Amino acid sequence: MIPRHLILPDRGTLLVSTDLHGNAEDFLRLRQHFENLLQKDPQSRWLLLGDVVHGPDERARQDQPEFYDFPDESYRIVEGIMDLQALHSRQVIFVLGNHDHGHVGGPRPAKFYPDEVQALEQKLEPEQVAKLRAFFEEAVLAVAAPCGLLFCHGVPDDSLRDLCELDRIGLRPASKDGDGQHVLSCLLRAYGQQASVVERMFLQLDQAHPGLDLRMVIHGHDRDPEGFFVEEGNQICPVIFGALKEHKRYLVLDLAKRYERPVSLREGKEIRRLYA
């Protein structure tokens, strides 16, 4: 059984980044910020919230250069994360996104290409495809921290009762795991939930994991030109892919603190610009 969830400790620095969709310039910039954090605290962690693969096609690059004019370097990013994990094993954590899931049994997303999985895999050598799939097979689905935050690619609903249930979910739809596939679908594909649904889910998780006391979901999956948005008072999306370059945001959190409300995350402190 591959562990699909992780509970972080109540100390240390955590960098959180969202969708990259093949943008190696953004990845390398984040890596630079992570390396700077490591200089100050060698135990710093970097949490990537999925959708690292599937970059723009030529048409998107031409039509909307302000968002999409970059080469698709999906495989280079996956390799870069694997290299970092080899160096800092448990400190670099990858959470699966729906685009990544397409390579390991999930529904194949259409975005720039009608079948993004096929479009990427046909550009790779067989050994690269095998490495890419092996990397995604090992991914976690959700991460929680006693600082009050739950981290996922999408936003789960109240069918999620216990993070340990995630360890029993198969990545392939044929798996017989009750409402596991519904939980998985929300985790990877839901853009948001009603505030009360998230509150109910948090109450359930607090019962299953005493001491977590969750207050907000930090997620990716969505885009926003301004690089950041809050929904329903308890769901927050810092945006890299799909934000204007000067507005691309990521988070730097202190796991010893408590983040109870959106205002707990301050611009320039916890919320940082990728290209400041």
Q: Which residues bind Mn ion (CB under 5 A)?
A: 51, 97-98, 221
- Least CB distance to Mn ion at residue 48 (A): 13
- Least CB distance to Mn ion at residue 221 (A): 4
Rg of the chain taking only CA atoms, in angstroms: 17
Nearer to Mn ion (CB atom), residue 37 or residue 141: 141
Nearer to Mn ion (CB atom), residue 10 or residue 115: 115
CA–CA gap between residue 180 and residue 221 (Å, rounded): 20
Q: Which burial class, exposed, middle or buried, applies to 59 when counting CB atoms under 10 A from its CB (0-12, 13-18, 19+)?
A: exposed
Nearer to Mn ion (CB atom), residue 132 or residue 147: 132
Residue found under tokens 């009603």 = 194
Nearer to Mn ion (CB atom), residue 4 or residue 215: 4
- Least CB distance to Mn ion at residue 36 (A): 28
Nearer to Mn ion (CB atom), residue 51 or residue 121: 51
CA–CA gap between residue 168 and residue 221 (Å, rounded): 23
Strands (E), the chain: 5-7, 13-17, 45-48, 92-94, 142-145, 149-152, 216-219, 228-231, 235-238, 249-254, 271-273
- Least CB distance to Mn ion at residue 181 (A): 17
- Least CB distance to Mn ion at residue 55 (A): 13
Which residue has the closest beta carbon to Mn ion? 221
